[in-house]
Amino acid sequence: MSEKQPVKVAVTGAAGQIAYSLLFRIANGDMLGNEQPVHLNMLEIPQALGALEGVCMELEDCAFPLLAGMDTFDDPARAFEGASYVLLVGARPRTKGMERKDLLEANGRIFTEQGRALNDNAPDDVRVLVVGNPANTNCLVAMENAPDIPRERFTAMTRLDHNRALAQLARKTGVPVSRITRMTIWGNHSTTQYPDVFHALVDGRPAFDAIGRDRNWLENEFIPTVQKRGAAVIEARGASSAASAANAAIDHVRDWALGTANGDWVSMAVPSDGSYGVDEGLVSSFPCRCAGGNWEIVQGLEIDEFSRSRIEASVAELREERDAVRSLGLVPA
Ligand code: NAD
Ligand code: LMR
């Protein structure tokens, strides 16, 4: 048994699909390391507390050595008390034919309330990952409603897109994902996102060379496949991605908490400081390196005309989403 004090991790939407994969991985030590005990604070709406009881029984039945305790809540204020990591998963998923931003009105309010609850109850060391869609703008809503929490503690998930891009590139080049580095997703977790291979390395050499400088594949297969993968999963499975989303959330928080590997970077949606011409304050995906529990945007990458126009298209969409949540009154004016 570890000597470390347990760390509290709050997960919202705890009786949902993603949580059903996520909670067990966290309790197994996959997120914070196999010497770090965790205490789970699980939040649900009152109608789902019964189902959540069943999840708790299963967690108990796993006898995870690192699971130091668990509590269930239907009040975000109480769920976030003492939580060093807060994973905001609870939100409605889209169904066939919807875009993620169609969820803005339905889900946005959840993040206003939860942003306020974080502001008033979360401890000083809180770090927040927003998974519920539309993730970037829900993160913006939570962050804008939590003015006392440093902005850099709010992030949204584009790691699933990052992992999807790695997998597609591995498939094309025949090289295992473990030998691909420096992948980047820019912009929004939506169909405008820009998966960028121009800085990626395959076995240490430029990915563009490794794909035979095949622009046709890049523009007509790779980019659209990654952009539309969420919809393809919904089409095939009849429900949105869950295990892969949980896996990406684990990857995101693990790298943020424990650091990115030597020289490599990961994609995280973070509040922009104006880097690469992205409007300050928008929550946009960037290449990030993490150390000591902090992330920083990788600077100095050369962005050509092709990449620039794609990044700008995604940022324009983020701007529209920000204006929409402003006009819905979800963020303070
Ligand atoms: P789900 O419907 O299976 O589960 C969502 C859960 O959230 C439900 O149990 C619901 O009761 C709960 N919930 C609703 N409102 C809540 C609130 N105010 N507080 C706490 N809990 C609340 O959905 P899911 O498949 O687990 O997906 C959850 C969200 O994650 C969706 O918005 C989905 O689109 C999104 N998602 C994001 C990514 C990403 O890459 N960023 C990937 C996959 C899914
Ligand atoms: C995904 O990318 O799989 C999720 O955001 C779910 C969705 O709606 O596409």
Which pLDDT tens digit goes with each residue over 203-257? 999 999 999 999 999 999 999 999 999 999 999 999 999 999 999 999 999 999 9
CA atoms 60, 18, 284, 303: torsion sign = positive
Q: What integer pLDDT is reported at residue 100 of this predicted model?
A: 85
Mean predicted confidence (pLDDT) in 124-147: 97
Region 265-292: mean pLDDT is 98
Average pLDDT over residues 12-39: 98
What pLDDT sits at residue 1? 53
Q: Which ligand is nearest to the CA of 191?
A: 2
Give the Cα separation of 115 and 109 in Å (integer).
Answer: 10
Task: Give the closest residue (by CA) to ligand 2 atom 5.
Answer: 230
Q: What is the pLDDT of residue 248?
A: 99
Amino acid at 189: H
* 274 annotated as a binding-site residue: no
pLDDT digits (tens, 9 = 90+) for 323-333: 999 999 999 87
Domain boundaries defined on the chain: 7-155, 158-322
Section 297-325 average pLDDT: 97
Range from 82-86, 230-234, 305-309, 328-332 carrying the lowest mean pLDDT: 328-332
Q: Is 14 a known ligand-binding residue?
A: yes
Nearest CA to ligand 1 atom 1: 16
Q: Which ligand is nearest to the CA of 115?
A: 1
For residues 39-56, give the mean pLDDT: 98
The whole-number pLDDT of residue 96 equals 86
Report DSSP letters for 155-186, one per residue.
Answer: EE--HHHHHHHHHHHHHHHT--GGGEE--EEE
Instruction: Spell 103-142 as b/e; 16+ CB within 10 A means b.
Output: bbeebbebbbebbbbbbebbeeebbbbbbbbbbbbbbbbb
User: Residue 173: how many CB atoms within 10 A of its CB?
Assistant: 17
Distance 103 CA to ligand 1 centre (A): 11
How many angstroms from the chain centroid is the CA of residue 83? 18
pLDDT, average across residues 25-53: 98
What is the rounded CA–CA span in Å between residue 114 and residue 134? 15
Closest listed residue to residue 76, CA positions, set 108, 137, 120, 135? 120
Residue 28, pLDDT score: 98
- Give the tens place of pLDDT for each residue, 48-64: 999 999 999 999 999 99
Q: Which 8-state DSSP code applies to residue 221?
A: I
What is residue 258's predicted lDDT score, i.e. its pLDDT? 98
More confident residue, 131 or 3: 131
Q: How many residues does the chain have?
A: 333
User: What's the angle, vertex CA 110, arms to CA 105 and CA 113, rounded to 5?
Assistant: 125
User: Which is nearest to 180 in space by CA: 157, 196, 194, 158?
Assistant: 196
List residues near ligand 2 (CB under 6 A).
93-94, 100, 133, 160, 230-231, 233, 240-241
pLDDT in tens, 187-200: 999 999 999 999 99
Cα(231) to centroid of ligand 2, in Å? 7
Element (H, E) at 51: helix 49-61
Residue 94 counted as an annotated binding residue: yes
Please give all residues whose beta carbon lies within 6 A of any atom in ligand 1, as ranges: 12-13, 15-18, 43-45, 48, 89-94, 110, 131-133, 135, 157, 160, 189, 240-242, 245
Residue 99, pLDDT score: 85
Ligand lying nearest the CA atom of residue 245: 1
Mean pLDDT over 75-97 rounds to 95
User: What gap in Å lies between CA 281 and CA 278, rounded to an integer?
Assistant: 9
For domain 7-155, say whether CATH 3.40.50.720 is its number: yes
Structure confidence at residue 262 (pLDDT) = 81
Tell me the best of 25, 44, 137, 268 to mutate to test the pocket of ligand 1, counting ligand atoms within 8 Å of each CB and taking the most: 44
- CA 230 / ligand 2 centre spacing (Å): 4
Residues forming the active site: 189
311 assigned to a ligand binding site: no
Contact between residue 23 and residue 55 where contact means Cβ atoms under 8 Å apart: yes
| pLDDT of 2 | 63
Which atom of ligand 2 is found nearest the CA of 94? 8
What is the whole-number distance in angstroms between the Cα of residue 81 and the centre of ligand 1?
21
pLDDT reading at 36 higher than 80: yes
Ligand 1 centroid vs 207 CA: distance in angstroms?
A: 34
Give the separation between CA 201 and CA 117, rounded to whole angstroms.
42
Protein residue with its CA nearest to atom 2 in ligand 2: 230
Third-level CATH fold of 158-322: L-2-Hydroxyisocaproate Dehydrogenase; Chain A, domain 2 (3.90.110)
Any known ligand binding at 19? yes
